[in-house]
Every structure is written in structure tokens, then in C-alpha cells.
Chains A and B, each alone.
Chain A
């Protein structure tokens, strides 16, 4: 004897899905989402290729001092300073001076002390590597937007690739090494800096 069953979810997907998506060569169409719209660019100049309304400028500069003298190195100490500016580039300075109070656009200024020991895990092309603890010693990292900025107390692994003159980072400590800073080596010291620019949506209180 036939018997009916009720199956949860049957109705949720019971009809032919409406025509949608499928940008085609004849003309790109946009799926009706009912929430927002996106215009797909099919030519070099639609008049919609605008720039972000706001930009975030990121700067980092740092120094490793390695020991013992001449190597092989077992320890490193150092410092990183990081700045973030909204819609303003960092004023040129001869050195990594502290930003002036109320400097236009400055939203984040931090200083990190670095203490590390030699790592047994090396990047394939690296001469040496360290597990380095970051400690925030000045500034507030709360307003910083750089997604790669560590939290105070994090221990991160970095290695020195002499051939490419780059410090590599073992992302997540999972053996996935990525170029992180271009650096200059002078004896037992490594100096490095980095800058980048991204679009950004400012938080309301910025």
C-alpha cells in the first residue's frame, strides 16, 4: 500500500532554478540577487573603473641583530616599527623616527621587540632561520588593519635567503615559506623594510 512521507527540505529545492548567472560572450548578465548589483565590465572603459574612496598606506621597518658574532647564529634580538596611514603617505624621513603627534592620517603606530632563537626548520634556500617572539612595547595595535600583523606574544618563524636577499616567513609554522621582506645584510645585522597600499573602508570612528 502506498504511503506518503514528508521529507524535510523537499520544498526548498523543488522547482527549476531561475535563469541566472551565466555571463556569456553575447553579453554579460548578472544574476538577480535581490540585494545588490554588480555591473560586469566588458570593455576597457565603462566609466565605472573608479579608484577606492580611501587608501591605507602600510609601512614597516626593522632590524635583526644576530649572535654570536660571525655565526653560526643561535640568537637574534631586534625591533620592528609599523605605521598605518589613512589617505596619507608617510612623510619621508632620514630614519625610522617616531611619527609626530597628530600627524595627518596616522591611525596606527606600533613598536615590537623581537627575541628569537635558531630554528631547526629551514626554508629550502635559507642559510639560517629563527623562531622569533613578537612583543608589543609601544603603541596600540587595535586600530591596525594589516591582516599579517601578529599579536603580542606570537612566535613566528623567519629565515634568511642570502641568494634572493629576502627574509622568508613560514606561514602558520606549517612549512609554507613565503618571501616576506627584502633585506640588506651587514655583518651580523639584517635591516629590512616594507610598504604597501590598499583600498580600505574606514571604520566609522576613524
Chain B
């Protein structure tokens, strides 16, 4: 009976709604007024263009070069048949151990790598690392690699292209010596970078979490989805003053600021200015100001891949017969 009465109560019943008049609170926005978002975006762009596997590779090379007989144990192929990332017939080499050398260098975990290098008309190389490996010496972390990374390049007559896929954490003094940010990072990203004498361009997406460094003393993470066309190789319709896409910056309170660069032409119905500036969104809310980037010199930060960095052999020629 009560249910029936309620069902037939009519509109006046709304006046008794205990939630009437209450809506969601306005989204509290962080105060970024003391942060130079343009400088932060420029810093982030320069970190993105240098995102490759070189620092982690340096850690791996050092760990292999510092080995002693039996520490760590070396394997042809995967060191463990139960690793999801590696097949039993994986063609590379690896080390796996929990040991300390007589020199006091400790190895823990495993590191697997594959390399390829071919030279015909141009030079092609590829390197892949799958690791969960720590190497330390006298209490200092020399390298820590966890995850998977792959990088391939093609170079010919001063023109080159590099494809990078990373999903890993890298730390340690050896990778830092090879350009890793202080205290390392966690990165999951894909990049295609073209450089040299014919074209400069970058296409990529992903995120980077900086373990120690802060961008503009505020942001610890970057996420991005970008296409950037450099001056070299640009067509008449290309905008070389700004990317197409967006850059996100996160502060330690997990508040994000995004700078969105709309296309300057095409079939999107939008025709934004090619002025280097993008619209700022804070926690997804559009702001009434912009942040601007300067792409001058950006591609000069990316170095041409070197063939020697795509070989890591355990070949010991031994003694003559």
C-alpha cells in the first residue's frame, strides 16, 4: 500500500527529495600560476626527442663487461623457459644469476639481449633488451633494468630513422652517465624519429615518470601524443613552429596540465594558428591562456645511431689450434 501511494504521489513528492538542490562540487583546480608552462613544455619536448634505449643499453653493456667467470652465468637464448616475454628458441644471449664477483660487484636477476646489424646500401641495426636485472658495486647501484625495450635504425648517406619502443624502468649511475635523468625513470612509449640531411620529424606517444628530476621544479611525469615536422623536409602546408597533438605534465599531487596543439589545416574543420602556442587545460578544463614552445634546435639533440651500439657479442676468440 505504501509503495502504491508513493507511486501515485505526483510531482509534489519531488519537494521531499533529500538530494534536491545539490549538484557536484566545482572541480578544484591546482594553482599553476607560479609555473612557467611554456618552459615546462619545452623541457618535456627535449626529453621526448632524446627518449631512446641508449642509457639502458649502456647499463647492460657495462654489466656484461664487468662479468667474471661464472658470475653471472651466461646463456644462449633465454635464461628461463617460463618467462612470458621470451620463447624457448629466442635467438639472443643472456645472463642470469644471483652472485657477487671477487671484485665485489653483485648481480641479481636476468638480462636478455638480441642484436642485429646489416650493411648493404645503408646500415640497419636492431637491439632488444628484456631484463629484470640489478648490478651494484660497493653499495652503489650501477644499473637497474626492468621491462622490455627495442630500438631499430636505418641510416644511409647522412639520413637516418630510429624506431624506439620502451616499456621499462631504468636507474643507476651507469645509465645516468649515458644520459639518463638523475635517479632514472619509468617509461612506456613509442617513437619514430627521423634525422640527418633530408628530413627531421618525430612521431610518438607514451609517458615518462621521472624518479628524481622535476620539470620546472614541479612536474614529475610527461605524457604525449605528438607529430612534429622539422624545417628539413617540410612541405608548404606543414607547420614547423609547433607540434600537432598534446603534451601532458603531472605534478606530484597527480594534477595534470595539458597543452593541446590543434592542426593548422586539413579536414578537421579546425584551422589553428601556426604560432608555436597551444591551449592549456588543467585537470581537463580549458584555461584562458596558452603555453608556447620553441622547436629551434630540437632535432639537433637527437644523434645519429652508431653501428657499434648495436653489437654486444660474447665472442672470445680463444687460443690458436
Contacts and interface: CB of A to CB of B under 8 A. Distances in A.
Given A7-B260, A61-B321, A172-B116, 10 more contacts: A3-B286, A13-B209, A31-B146, A39-B108, A41-B108, A58-B76, A147-B76, A172-B125, A173-B118, A179-B317
B61 interface: no
A108 to B, nearest CB: 11
Contacts of B83: 36
B284 A198 contact: no
Contacts of B125: 172, 174
Interface of A: 2-10, 12-17, 20-25, 28, 31, 33, 35-36, 38-44, 46, 48-49, 51-52, 56, 58, 61, 145-148, 165-167, 171-176, 178-184, 191-196, 198-204
Q: Give the interface residue-count category, chain B.
A: 35 or more
A200 B254 contact: no
B299 interface: no
The SS class assigned to the B binding surface is strand
Contacts, number: 209
Interface majority SS on A: helix, strand, loop or mixed? loop
A16 to B, nearest CB: 6
Contacts of B81: 201
Interface string B119-131: 1100101000000
A171 B313 contact: yes
A5 B144 CA distance: 37
Contact of B320 (A10, A41, A182, A196): A182
17 contacts: A21-B144, A21-B169, A21-B184, A24-B141, A38-B110, A38-B133, A39-B108, A52-B96, A172-B117, A173-B119, A174-B123, A174-B125, A175-B307, A178-B311, A183-B321, A184-B320, A201-B77
B79 A199 contact: yes
A168 to B, nearest CB: 9
Contact of B317 (A4, A166, A174): A166
B318 A195 contact: yes
Contacts of A16: 252, 254
B57 interface: no
Contact of A14 (B92, B139, B256, B319): B256
Contacts of A199: 73-76, 79, 96
